[in-house]
Amino acid sequence: NLPCCCGFRRPKPTWRTRPQSWPTTMNKHDSRGENLGRGRVQFEDAKGVKDLAYKLAGDFRDSKLEGATIIVDRLERLKDLAVDGQVEQMRQLKDVMKNWREILNSVPDETDELATGDMAVCSSWYAPKVQVKLKDLFEEFKDTEKAFAQIKPDKFQDLGRRMNKAMEKIAPAVYGMQNLPNEVSDVADRADEREETLKDTDTKAMKKLLEGQGMTISLSSLEDCKRGLLDLVEPTQRNLEKVQTFVSEAHDKFKQAFEVPCPCCCMTSYVYDQPSRCLTELLENADRALEVNLQPFFELLQGLKDLIDLDMSRISKPTKRFAKLAAERVDLLDKIVAEARPSGISPCCFRPFPLASPRADSASLASLQAKEK
């Protein structure tokens, strides 16, 4: 380098060199060019998948699959209620019924215990009147007890098991189709962030979902569950309503049975303040009965009535229509995924082999020459 007039050394000109940072289009294998191109393809792939997700959402609306999904939701709820059979609620009521029977059945033998406290002085007048009322109440209870005995939870459990077997194919198929637009949209979002995720998309599972294998047989099995259902539901509903009516009125009826008649009706408050053991036990069991929730059983019975009138085509037609429309979108997605996957030699062919060191090569050559001699 020669100094200039001001003492600054000028750098030697490099006429035949160029900075490494300069971009070039001469080398078709340049990595930066490939990355730029791949980024453009990545953007186009993600956008294409996103468009497919929008179209699938439109197919969901056009096929009216949402209505089928609502029906399946109700059937799933109905199936769970039937499988449960409301066994626990019936067991609790059975215990109460047993206690009521024992108490009411022992009234004739315990007339002296019907009047306590201040009423004990006139028990000979008061107790027979209470006994008559409790006897009438016992007859009403017997009718309720008979109605309760005709409720068969095991029959509903058997129905629930058959419904459960039918829904094993229906529910996953309908819910899978419902979720397909969101699933494809998630694929597009992941591909937009990382292009290598696109090649891992399982389009085979989507195609299998749209085939709806076993859907027709399952709908036929669900249709068979309707056979003889009306003969089970209607008597059970009548009997359950009779039980509920008695339970809801039991507390007041038991108290009315112990009211003091005229001309000493003003003494009724004393009876309630100093209740006999019989009244106390009756009221305690009445409170226990009120705690039993019968609403799920009524919901089950009403749902089974709706099932009787259900046309299975309200499930089959929307699913078939959506499957037909969505199959075209999944085929396009399959092509995009196939283009994103590497083609040619399998990655296992690029496995590196260990290279021997020069010293090892020399030793091997010397051993070979010794053998030849």
Strands (E), 231-339: none
Q: For residue 147, which of 242, 229, 253 has the smallest C-alpha distance? A: 242
Looking at residue 228, what DSSP letter applies? T
pLDDT of residue 115: 66
pTM of the model: 0.73
pLDDT of residue 358: 45
Question: 163 with 152: CB under 8 angstroms?
Answer: no
Q: How far is it, in rounded angstroms, from Cα 196 to Cα 190?
A: 9
Per-position pLDDT tens, the chain of length 373: 445 544 444 444 443 444 343 343 334 344 434 443 444 444 466 788 889 999 999 999 999 999 999 999 999 999 999 999 899 999 999 999 999 999 998 876 666 677 666 666 667 777 788 888 899 999 999 999 999 999 999 999 999 999 999 999 999 999 999 999 999 999 888 888 777 788 888 889 999 999 877 888 999 999 999 998 999 999 999 999 999 999 999 999 998 888 777 766 666 676 677 778 888 999 999 999 999 999 999 999 999 999 999 999 999 999 999 999 999 999 999 888 888 777 633 334 334 434 344 444 455 545 545 554 4
Q: For residue 131, which of 216, 42, 258, 38 has the smallest C-alpha distance? A: 258
pLDDT of residue 256: 87
Contacts of 53 (CB under 8 A, 6+ apart): 181, 182, 184, 185, 187, 188
Burial of 322 (0-12, 13-18, 19+ CB in 10 A): buried
DSSP codes joined into one string, 13-80:
P-TT---TTS--SS-TT-HHHHHHHHHHHHHHHHHHHHHHHHHHHHHHHHTTHHHHHHHHHHHHHHHH
